[in-house]
Structure 1
Amino acid sequence: MARFIYSFVLLLLAPVLITYLWVFRGKKQAAYRIHFNERFAYGISSLPKHALLFHCASVGEVLAAAPLIKKYKQQHPNDKIIVSTNTPTGRAQIEAIFQESVNCVYLPLDFYFTARRFINTLRPKALCVLETELWPNLFAHAKANDCPVLVLNARLSEKSMKGYQRVQPLTNVLMRAVTYLASHNEQDASRFMKLGLREDKIRATGSIKFDIQLSEPEQIKARQLKSLLSGRYVWVAGSTHPLEHEQVLAAHKLLLKQYPTALLIIAPRHPEQFEPVASLLATQQFRMTRRSNMQSLEESQVLLADTLGELKCLYGASDVAYVGGSLIERGGHNPLEAAAFSVGVLSGPHTYNFAHIYPELINASAAITVFDSESLFEQLHTLFNDNDARMQLGRNAHQVLMNNQGAINKTLALIDKSLGRNI
């Protein structure tokens, strides 16, 4: 009955959902209107049947899952893989990372008939969902088709747990459909058990986000860019959002008074923000160069990273990284890409999306919290004025990363177990 009510309400909301995706999101980013039929599980018949299906909601999940998917492909080269996502930027990231080695599709909206068509058409050998993308109809139809459902790299805050408890009958549908769940830690595992997931279905594997591996091309690109910027203090503001861009630029304006040759590399989180940030830079009279049209950087005060898939390498070319989505209430973004290059992290106070990572970084003196543009400037000034402290911050970040690796192998073992391998 709970799923019937959920499906009925979702059907009533269909005009709103479709209008939002096509009109509002499509106006901001035209790519939302491409492959739109996939949102209803049409146009997918050419995709391979009985593939392993990974679902990564957007860019962050794609980047986290990429090493896991690559290692699975190495271990099982004959298996077909489909990676689904919700956003055009997620799709672009999948295509950039994997080219044609995996198939890419939009996950359909969770209407009863679209979820059924999706599962019945593809008949995946397993559904592997990254983090906490829990869709009642998708999960129920997968279970009905004897398709194992795995929730990987799962996290659940106290607030989210209480939200699921408020719709416990529907939550029960989800928990019954889960074959295995790989949680970040025992605390997350305990919260899922409180929602009704059986203890024998849960494994605390750690976070796969710690299992970052730097490829040789990534290291070469970072070294080349760092060499190009040699002699300048460079900081990256990665994955920034509206109302945060302005704070970052205010901090940089203060920094330039102390270090006139300092360079800010600003990388907006979403492509639709590239032009607004360019306009903001022009309005505030910063000398700017675009990453997509690299010319001489000698006179530039800001490098606008208007490209996709390069943020990790940009962190690697910097002295200090500010990780965005944290001076505003967006929950923060992944600081571990900077840590992989031994670059220390600055972050705002709003990091609840990475509550399993930031406390450990802060406790290990590997990350520093800032609260506004002025405190961001003060920390940058302190670190640029103290090379030893800046280098130690980066070394500490890298050590935290190394201390927490191993989740990918545990997660792969869980996938194999769900498929009847190595039991």
Structure 2
Amino acid sequence: MNIFQFAYNFAISCLAPMILPAFRYHERRDPEHRAALAQRLGHDKSDFAANQRPDGPVIWIHAVSVGEVKAAEAVIHALNDASLDLSYVFTTTTMTGQRHARKRFGNVMRVRYAPLDLWWTTKRFLETHRPDVLLCMETEIWPNWITIAHRRGMKIALLNGRISSRSIRSYNRIRPLIAPVLKKVDAFSMITASDARRIVRLGALEHRVRINGNAKMDSLEAEADTGALKKLEALYAIDDSVPVFVAGSIRGVEVEILMDVYDRLASRIPELVFIVAPRHLQNASRIAACARSRGVRWQYRTDLEKEGCKRVAPVVILNTIGELRHVYRFASVVFCGGSLIPLGGQNVLEPALCGKPVLFGPFMEDFQDACDLLEASGGGQYIPNGCALAERAGDLLAHPDDARRMGKRARRAVLANRGAARRHARVVAEILNLPFPE
């Protein structure tokens, strides 16, 4: 352990006694939160015991939230298709990620909250589950996890790795801490050449770095859930003749910007339906307050299912979880949020696969490769500000044939770039010295 990792452990060890009591007080009132805290402290009160360890290699795969869980799912499917005798323990950080992982994997593998990056919580977790491999999705670089796993002889890989131009500035500040840690990682399976260059700059050994594309291309559902779609179309009182502008994952002051955009679009296209989805549900009330202050009629999505209620307002605020991917399918035009302000953007691939024209702001550093792909194909477009967004969205809504052609190009671009999950899976097989079919 170098001086920087010692300082890191000293700092978090000093902070833990001050922070954990507050967490315990909060978690005490909610059984789900209480179980989450126990698992983050390395405790596992399930009926699993260390002596139940399966015969084949055990993979600890970690994904932060829903997006990373979906990418991990695509890699797991590729590993299973290769008929490798593997077992998994799957961890997440966020509660939404945990719920999604349990829904997808709960019957076939252990799904837990990730332990805190403390020596004792990490050791307790590893002693319970005894994995042979640690796979971290995207950009999860935890010094104690990696150091302790390495000392135990585990193989370690970063899959679907990405280091954005925005995030590398933060990583550079702690490079003396993470550079020695990255030397312990056996393989870096990165999305793009830019990601590969940045991880090497941070300290990864160049011969361990590969460029294998974005597994999220493979994680997307190619076919619509027809039943769910029909139900939603009825709830929203929408058919093919209704122009629909969907703004997904809106954050911060984008609320006000998008309401300005709606005002301009509504004056041009009176029959427009505007569906706006906040990135975080607690911000739905901010959107409602903004609409109310402007005299715009609106409804919450949850109101549409109440008895005797239907959509009558032109603005619907999506205050549900997991429905946006369905709503994209009856959009005429989609805007992806977190991109008109410097927050790194949001995933543009889901609406693209739905065959929708995708517009996004200039701050898409976290999804640069996907945006560049869509723009090069003619299926997506960078928009510099709210005024330009209103102009471009209005043109597409006024010319639906142009919007449909743009959406088809977006879908073709995504479908043509699938296969990354299998390449990431091959990296896992190689570090385990297992055969992987061509």
Aligned to 2:159: 152
User: Which one-letter code corresponds to 1:250 in the other structure?
Assistant: D
Contact 2:165–2:365 (Cα < 8 Å) also in 1: no
Counterparts in 2 of 1:3-22, with a 5 A limit? 3-15=5-17, 17-18=19-20
Which among 247, 261, 268 is matched to residue 258 of structure 1?
A: 268
Aligned to 1:39: 40
Q: Distance in 2 between matches of 1:302 and 1:33?
A: 38
Structure 2 unaligned blocks of 5 or more? none
User: Which one-letter code corresponds to 2:125 in the other structure?
Assistant: F
Aligned to 2:150: 143
Which among 66, 69, 74 is matched to residue 67 of structure 1?
A: 74
Aligned to 2:392: 379
Which among 86, 93, 97 is matched to residue 93 of structure 2?
A: 86
Which among 229, 243, 247 is matched to residue 237 of structure 1?
A: 247
Q: How far does residue 259 in structure 1 lie from its aligned partner after superposition?
A: 2.0
Counterparts in 2 of 1:8-407, with a 5 A limit? 8-15=10-17, 17-18=19-20, 35-43=36-44, 46-47=47-48, 49=53, 51-76=58-83, 79-158=86-165, 160-161=167-168, 163-214=170-221, 216=223, 218-222=225-229, 225-226=232-233, 229-230=238-239, 231-295=241-305, 297-407=310-420
3-state SS, counterpart of residue 153 of structure 1: strand
Number of matched pairs: 421
Percent of residue pairs identical: 27
Q: 1:268 to 1:103 in 2, by over 3 A?
A: farther
Q: How far does residue 6 in structure 1 lie from its aligned partner after superposition?
A: 1.4
3-state SS, counterpart of residue 115 of structure 1: helix
3-state SS, counterpart of residue 356 of structure 1: helix
Alignment deviations for residues 90-147 of structure 1 (CA, whole Å, 9 cap, x no partner): 2222234445333322212211211222222211132111111100000111112222
User: Which one-letter code corresponds to 2:42 in the other structure?
Assistant: A
Tell me which moved more, 105-114 or 275-284: 275-284
User: Which one-letter code corresponds to 2:11 in the other structure?
Assistant: V
3-state SS, counterpart of residue 308 of structure 1: coil
Q: Distance in 2 between matches of 1:351 and 1:383?
A: 22
Tell me which moved more, 122-131 or 207-216: 207-216
Alignment deviations for residues 187-232 of structure 1 (CA, whole Å, 9 cap, x no partner): 3223322333223322210111222442556355336545751121
Q: Distance in 2 between matches of 1:300 and 1:266?
A: 13
Tell me which moved more, 334-343 or 391-400: 391-400
Query: Is the counterpart of residue 416 in structure 1 residue 429 in structure 2?
Result: yes
3-state SS, counterpart of residue 294 of structure 1: helix
Tell me which moved more, 339-348 or 214-223: 214-223
User: Which one-letter code corresponds to 1:339 in the other structure?
Assistant: A
TM-score normalised by length of structure 1: 0.89
Contact 1:236–1:322 (Cα < 8 Å) also in 2: yes
Tell me which moved more, 62-71 or 205-214: 62-71
3-state SS, counterpart of residue 369 of structure 2: coil
Structure 1 unaligned blocks of 5 or more? none
Tell me which moved more, 281-290 or 401-410: 281-290
Q: 1:91 to 1:327 in 2, by over 3 A?
A: same
User: Which one-letter code corresponds to 1:13 in the other structure?
Assistant: L
Alignment deviations for residues 225-264 of structure 1 (CA, whole Å, 9 cap, x no partner): 4575112111211111132222222211222222222111
CA RMSD of aligned residues (A): 2.9
User: Which one-letter code corresponds to 1:3 in the other structure?
Assistant: Q
3-state SS, counterpart of residue 111 of structure 2: strand
